[in-house]
């Protein structure tokens, strides 16, 4: 039995990289284990994946010394597994891919995007099932972006209207992601690896709530948003 109850052969497996050290957040624990509104980010992210109803199995990649604490804080279901991540994010995702040979589709979803609405997760999965090989949520860029050289001098100003900020979950046909990870390569997101194979990556509208909790300011924002959500339920 799977998270959403299906036993089909087109299984959607979510990979949750949670093995980062979170240096920019400045906490003692790895970022994914920092609590937001009393709940560790990795638990919030996994709860969101389950609530989407679109995921059959979830694999969470954590630092080696955090395996037992991750198992203790994640939902008790045999559809959620914890594996050891790696030194780089791509190493962590590679470990997750290896743990799910049965997957037909992968959703790669950062634990640090802890408040991602389940609806966004379901929309990415629906696009995959409709035949898109690679799907990423995207938001228009609000700041002007400039390229700079090593001395800080501006070298260019790309047209903002053609730029997007990319979120997770990023969805892939499993074979495509396996191929992308078969080579020893590095990128800041998984779609970047798939693009190098020449595959077409489709964007869908992202959601501001899927922001990545990276800095102490992000953490304060996430706390405030969760407080609001809790107050709304009271």
Query: Does 218 engage in binding with ligand C5P (CB under 6 A)?
Result: no
Query: Does 52 engage in binding with ligand C5P (CB under 6 A)?
Result: no
Q: Are 82 and 64 in contact (CB under 8 A)?
A: no
- Out of 27, 37, 53, 86, the only residue in the binding site for ligand C5P (CB under 6 A) is 86
Query: Does 212 engage in binding with ligand C5P (CB under 6 A)?
Result: yes
Q: How far is the CB of 64 from ligand C5P (least distance, A)?
A: 11
**Where does this chain touch ligand C5P (CB under 6 A) — which range of 108-116, 147-155, 157-165, 177-185?**
108-116
Give the list of residues 6+ apart from residue 152 with CB closer than 8 angstroms, or none.
Answer: none
Q: How far is the CB of 116 from ligand C5P (least distance, A)?
A: 12
Query: Does 133 engage in binding with ligand C5P (CB under 6 A)?
Result: no
| Distance between CA atoms of residues 31 and 158, nearest Å | 32
- Out of 61, 100, 121, 193, the only residue in the binding site for ligand C5P (CB under 6 A) is 61
Helix (H, G, I), strand (E, B) or coil at 157: coil
Q: Tell me how many residues contact ligand C5P (CB under 6 A).
A: 18
Q: Output b/e per residue, 26-58; b: 16+ Cβ within 10 A.
A: eeeebbbbbbbbeebbbbbbbebbbebebbbbb
Query: Does 92 engage in binding with ligand C5P (CB under 6 A)?
Result: yes
The alpha carbon dihedral of 202, 125, 132, 187 has a sign of positive
**Where does this chain touch ligand C5P (CB under 6 A) — which range of 18-26, 100-108, 127-135, 223-231?**
18-26
| Distance between CA atoms of residues 59 and 56, nearest Å | 10
Query: Does 87 engage in binding with ligand C5P (CB under 6 A)?
Result: yes
Question: What is the pairing mode between strands 164-166 and 134-140?
Answer: antiparallel
**Where does this chain touch ligand C5P (CB under 6 A) — which range of 13-21, 122-130, 135-143, 195-203?**
13-21
| Distance between CA atoms of residues 85 and 60, nearest Å | 8
Q: What is the DSSP letter of 9?
A: S
**Where does this chain touch ligand C5P (CB under 6 A) — which range of 3-11, 82-90, 138-146, 192-200?**
82-90
Q: Within 135-164, which residues bind ligand C5P (CB under 6 A)?
A: none
Per-residue binding letters, 167-206, with ligand C5P (x by CB under 6 A) = ----------------------------------------
CA 26 to chain centre: 21
Query: Does 214 engage in binding with ligand C5P (CB under 6 A)?
Result: yes
Helix (H, G, I), strand (E, B) or coil at 180: helix
| Distance between CA atoms of residues 22 and 20, nearest Å | 5
| Assigned token pair, 78 | 């045999």
- Residue numbers at the binding site for ligand C5P (CB under 6 A): 17-20, 31-32, 61, 85-89, 92, 110-112, 212, 214
């Amino acid at each position: 039995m799977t998270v959403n109850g299906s036993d089909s052969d087109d299984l959607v497996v979510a990979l949750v990289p949670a093995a980062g050290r979170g240096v920019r957040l400045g906490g003692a624990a790895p970022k994914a284990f920092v609590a937001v509104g009393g709940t560790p980010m990795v638990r919030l992210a996994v709860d969101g994946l389950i609530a989407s109803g679109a995921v059959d199995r979830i694999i969470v990649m954590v630092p080696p010394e955090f395996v037992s604490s991750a198992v203790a804080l994640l939902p008790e279901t045999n559809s959620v597994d914890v594996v050891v991540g790696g030194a780089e994010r791509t190493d962590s995702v590679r470990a997750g891919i290896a743990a799910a040979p049965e997957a037909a589709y992968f959703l790669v979803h950062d634990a640090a995007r802890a408040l991602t609405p389940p609806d966004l997760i379901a929309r990415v999965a629906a696009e995959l099932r409709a035949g898109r090989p690679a799907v990423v949520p995207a938001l228009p860029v609000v700041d002007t972006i400039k390229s700079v050289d090593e001395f800080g001098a501006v070298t260019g100003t790309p047209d903002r209207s053609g730029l997007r900020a990319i979120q997770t979950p990023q969805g892939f046909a499993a074979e495509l992601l396996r191929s992308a990870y078969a080579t020893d390569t590095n990128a800041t997101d998984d779609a970047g690896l798939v693009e190098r194979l020449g595959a077409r990556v489709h964007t869908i509208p992202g959601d501001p709530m899927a922001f990545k909790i990276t800095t102490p300011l992000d953490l304060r924002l996430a706390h405030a948003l969760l407080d609001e959500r809790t107050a709304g339920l009271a």
